[in-house]
Amino acid sequence: MDSGEVMLRPVRPADRERIEAICEKVWEGRDHVPHQLDSWLADPAATFQAAERNGEVAGIQRLLPVAPGIVLYHALRVAPEYRRQGVARSMLRQALMEARRLGFSEVRLYTGEPEAATLFRSEGFQELTDCVTWTGARLEGGELPELARPGDVQVLARLVESDPALAAYGGVTADWSGPLRPDADLLGKLIDEGLVRVGPGRRSLALLRRNWLPEMAVTFLAGTGSSLEELLYRLRAEADAQAVAACSLLAPQDHPAADTFQAVGYDRAHDEKHALIYSRGL
């Protein structure tokens, strides 16, 4: 008999086949979860859970610490045959209790799915930002953008803090691996990973997303005027150098430089995919 109860336990290596089946149809087969199972199973810092119903894995979720006191809730998947039965809601509520027990004070998450967003809002999450996508087709042979250097951290942190874009982004990057405030600490880490591009005079900057897909996406953009224009052109040239079709900009519709995006050849994507970022205190 189906008790309806959802029991959480750690994901085990033996769950692989079942998880692959659950994720098979997610995002037309482009789900990243199956590709990350090995590293997630080996990561003691995160809480990677399977939800069992009637002794079968009905869903998965993961809590990943991303900053002091802040945990990212992600990789929520429910098997198609268990959907619309309250499984995700039960899993989420248990995850929030676990995050509280572990001493976190805030949970953040990123979703592109409006149905999932309804669930999160109904469980007390507040929207930090709603980003849409602009795409700039690759430009052959243009000059590449300049990489920020470790010595640039303070100048760039001041640029970010004084730019109205920060408020439009809800104070965080639109990054699915952890929406965080682009302060000196985060900028330093991203510079070390080679993910920060700057425009002339360091009067503009773009933060790139860590990516497992053959894509190039900007998760935070600040700056104005000719420096920003030049940076945006050069990002399109970098898309060509990286052999991808376009550079995508994730930015709120009311980004203060939205007119500049269009002026240098970035168009709003047709698919209307949103990057929705939520936060909830514990």
Ligand X SMILES: CC(C)(COP(=O)(O)OP(=O)(O)OC[C@H]1O[C@@H](n2cnc3c(N)ncnc32)[C@H](O)[C@@H]1OP(=O)(O)O)[C@@H](O)C(=O)NCCC(=O)NCCS
CB–CB of 235/197 below 8 Å? yes
CB–CB of 240/56 below 8 Å? no
Cα separation of 196 and 190, whole Å?
A: 6
Is 87 one of the binding residues for ligand X (CB under 6 A)? yes
Cα separation of 273 and 268, whole Å?
A: 10
Stretch that binds ligand X, among 78-86, 147-155, 189-197, 235-243 (CB under 6 A): 78-86
The residue from 47, 50, 70, 77 that contacts ligand X (CB under 6 A) is 77
Q: Which is nearer to ligand X, 41 or 116 (CB)?
A: 116
Q: Which is nearer to ligand X, 78 or 250 (CB)?
A: 78
The residue from 85, 177, 211, 226 that contacts ligand X (CB under 6 A) is 85
CB–CB of 217/250 below 8 Å? yes
Total binding residues toward ligand X, as defined by CB under 6 A: 18
User: Please, what sign has the CA dihedral across residues 97, 102, 104, 106?
Assistant: negative
Q: How far is the CB of 263 from ligand X (least distance, A)?
A: 34
Q: Which is nearer to ligand X, 257 or 277 (CB)?
A: 277
Q: Strand pairing of 70-78 and 106-111?
A: parallel
Is 33 one of the binding residues for ligand X (CB under 6 A)? no
Site for ligand X in 89-108 (CB under 6 A): 89
Q: Which residues pair with 280 in a beta bridge?
A: 107
Is 119 one of the binding residues for ligand X (CB under 6 A)? yes
* Cα–Cα separations (whole angstroms), residue 31 to 25, 26, 35, 77: 8, 6, 8, 10
Stretch that binds ligand X, among 46-54, 70-78, 145-153, 198-206 (CB under 6 A): 70-78
Residues lying near ligand X in the complex (CB under 6 A) are found at 26, 76-78, 83-89, 111, 113, 115-116, 118-119, 122
